[in-house]
């Protein structure tokens, strides 16, 4: 039996009333959508075209939508290129993920531990991942699970819509994003489930509990290519 332990989230960065403030802002002004393509060069190259195409489709339906992209390094920002060439009025920032999540109405993010960051801040998200077919098939054969996003794994259901591999299209992701942006009841339901997920993590110290759990297990296949 394996113990499911999530990594520590940023408990020092309390979201306080940010989620409720965002809810009120959506009724009166433009939504802010956070784009999170990943922290690796290969991820950026794979995900950036999909994310920008998705953002354009969202903006066609909601022209006032603001888009912000958070990248961890100067190198990735340089590789991403000029923001205006990717998307009109796109803001790209280096670091500051917690601050960006605190004011985001929605995130479009690759799968991995970053989805738990989104959950901690109560941010509805659409999750996607594209990798090479050999990596994808190897991961699926190694570990058969229904969900990739960590909040979905912890909740045992698709709290965050997921679009993986061939299903990760701009049309599909944009539709899911617009459903969340336009449907307050849907957003509230997602936020309530995210609060339950974070509550289930308990007190800080998940890293230590994870280490103990891993040491107690027999060696098992790991699908790092898909999970993070």
Position 17 scores a pLDDT of: 44
Count other C-beta atoms under 10 Å from residue 12's C-beta: 7
Residue with structure tokens 């801040």?
121
Q: Taking the chain, what is the end-to-end CA distance rounded to the nearest angstrom? A: 22
Tokens of 23: 């809810």
Look at the chain and count its residues: 228
Measured CA to CA, the distance from residue 142 to residue 147 in angstroms comes to: 14
Task: Please list, in sequence order, all residues whose beta carbon lies within 8 angstroms of the beta carbon of residue 174, skipping any fewer than 6 positions away.
Answer: 54, 57, 58, 61
Query: What is d(CA 63, CA 189) in angstroms, rounded to the nearest whole number?
Result: 25
Residue 166's pLDDT is 86
- Please name which of 2, 46, 64 lies closest in space to residue 164, comparing C-alpha atoms: 46
- For each of the chain's 228 residues, which pLDDT tens digit applies? 444 444 555 544 555 445 555 554 555 468 999 999 999 998 999 999 999 999 999 999 999 999 999 999 999 999 998 888 889 899 999 999 999 999 999 999 999 889 999 999 999 999 998 865 555 555 554 455 667 788 998 888 999 999 988 899 999 999 999 999 999 999 999 999 999 999 888 766 554 544 454 444 444 443 443 444
Complete domains list, the chain, with CATH:
18-219 (3.40.50.2000)
What does pTM read for this prediction? 0.77
pLDDT of the residue at 200: 86
Reduce the DSSP state of residue 103 to 3 states and report it.
coil
Q: How far apart are CA 105 and CA 192, in angstroms?
A: 15
Residue 83 is predicted with a pLDDT of 87
């Amino acid at each position: 039996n394996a113990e499911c332990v999530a990594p520590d989230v940023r408990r020092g960065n309390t979201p306080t009333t940010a989620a409720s403030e965002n809810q009120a802002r959506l009724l009166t002004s433009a939504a802010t959508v956070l784009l999170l393509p990943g922290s690796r060069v290969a991820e950026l190259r794979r995900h950036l075209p999909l994310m920008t195409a998705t953002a354009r489709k969202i903006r066609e339906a909601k022209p006032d939508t603001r888009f912000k992209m958070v990248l961890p390094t100067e190198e990735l920002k340089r590789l991403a290129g000029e923001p205006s060439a990717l998307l009109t009025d796109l803001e790209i920032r280096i670091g500051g993920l917690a601050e960006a999540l605190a004011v985001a109405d929605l995130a479009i993010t690759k799968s991995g531990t970053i989805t738990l960051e989104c959950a901690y801040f109560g941010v509805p998200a659409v999750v996607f991942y594209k990798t090479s077919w050999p990596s994808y098939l190897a991961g699926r054969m190694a570990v058969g699970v229904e969900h990739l996003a960590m909040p979905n794994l912890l909740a045992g259901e698709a709290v965050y819509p997921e679009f993986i591999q061939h299903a990760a299209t701009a049309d599909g992701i944009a539709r899911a994003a617009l459903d969340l942006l336009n449907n307050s009841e849907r957003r509230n339901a997602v936020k309530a489930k995210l609060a339950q997920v974070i509550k289930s993590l308990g007190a800080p110290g998940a890293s230590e509990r994870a280490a103990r759990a891993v040491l107690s297990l027999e060696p098992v296949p790991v699908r790092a290519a898909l999970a993070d």
